Amino acid sequence: MTSRARFYLCHMTNIDRLIRAAHSELGLDFVRSSGPGGQNVNKVSTSAQLRFDINASTVLPDDAKVRLMRLGGKRVTGDGILLIEAKRHRTQDQNRVDAVARFDDLLRRALEPPKHRVPTKATAASRERRLAAKRRKSEIKKTRQARSADV
């Protein structure tokens, strides 16, 4: 196993550990939902509302908290609470699993450090091609001009 693969496996298990630890800070409520369910929809609270207080989290690093706030968008309240509502399915259990899966996906994206951009320079050949194209365009425009000696 290469060192890169070993780093990747170690890194992924750290992310998985953080996600599992964040599950202990989740709040989950069930409310009545307006979705599929027929007559049952008016009697049973099947919609899952998952709450996660980003600012009060003790398991997430500060940079991941900032990325999670940005990725959460409209789902993050002014107090820094991430609210995920799952009401696609007809049962509480399916909606709970759906909400937790969506939270895990969002958290996994927030825990991934952004790729460092390495600034690059244009190659000498690309600069030469650009200048040659400019010269060709200039010659074309010169041939369109009226000649003062011919007029």
Query: pLDDT by residue (tens digit) across 35-86?
Result: 555 666 666 777 788 888 888 888 888 888 888 888 888 888 888 888 888 8
Q: How far apart are CA 126 and CA 145, in angstroms?
A: 29
Domains of the chain: 3-111 (3.30.160.20)
Average pLDDT, the chain: 79
If you average pLDDT over residues 78-100, what whole number do you get?
Answer: 84
* 93 half-sphere exposure, CB direction, 13 A CA radius: 0
Q: How far apart are CA 20 and CA 101, in angstroms?
A: 12
Is the whole-model pTM more than 0.75?
no
Banded pLDDT at 9 (limits 50, 70, 90): very low
143 or 90: which carries more pLDDT confidence? 143
**In which region does residue 11 sit, left (phi positive, over 0), alpha (psi from -120 to 50) or beta (all else)?**
alpha
CA distance to 49, 132, 133, 142, 145, per residue, from 139 (Å)? 67, 11, 10, 5, 10
Banded pLDDT at 2 (limits 50, 70, 90): low
